[in-house]
Structure 1
Amino acid sequence: MITTLTPDLTTAVPAELARQLNLRPGTQLDWEADADGLVIHVKAIEPSREELLKRVRELGRKHKREGVDAIGDLIRERELEHDMRERVLS
């Protein structure tokens, strides 16, 4: 497979290769050339559990709306459902 360097020296991983190697966004690639610079070895490095947790927390913050207590709303919703269930069953 052939890729081309962009002017800012980046290149894309071919989709077929990314699927084959199970590469996902956030996977780091460790590039290394042999002594003559003729062969380039690339090793995929999976993000650590800490890094994955950090990303998940950022996603949560990104979607949090100002002034909204989502957890409190969920608790109140569950309490209402519980009360309705109790009334129906009694």
Structure 2
Amino acid sequence: MITRLTGKNQVTVPAEIARKEGMRPGTRLEWRATDRVHILEVRVLPDPASLAAYLRGRGNRSRKQSGSAVDRLVEQRTEEENAGGKG
């Protein structure tokens, strides 16, 4: 697909690519020049709001499964004290 750069340095993303990548108005793109002449890389950046929604609550599950870091440290120290007292 071929697009044209406008006088304001804007590029239109072909509709087929925009749909495939889930791009909407406001989607951020990261542009990078490569070592190869006239070859650019463009990466679609995740929407911060959707990323936050995806991550929301994920830490709580692992914290519930393994307990807090403080609880693990107290348990470890108790085990060390009990092991040190025997012998």
Post-superposition offset of 1:15: 0.6
Task: Give the alignment's TM-score, normalised by structure 2.
Answer: 0.51
Larger Rg: 2
Unpaired runs of 5+ in structure 2? 53-87
Q: Describe how 1:1-90 pairs up with structure 2 within 5 A.
A: 1-49=1-49
Q: Distance in 2 between the 1:37 and 1:43 partners?
A: 18
Q: Distance in 2 between the 1:49 and 1:17 partners?
A: 22
The number of aligned residues is: 51
Task: Give the alignment's TM-score, normalised by structure 1.
Answer: 0.50
SS at match of 1:17: helix
The percentage of aligned residue pairs carrying the same residue is 37
Partner in structure 2 of residue 69 of structure 1: none
Post-superposition offset of 1:48: 0.9
Cα-Cα RMSD: 2.0
Unpaired runs of 5+ in structure 1? 53-90
Letter in 1 for 2:24: R
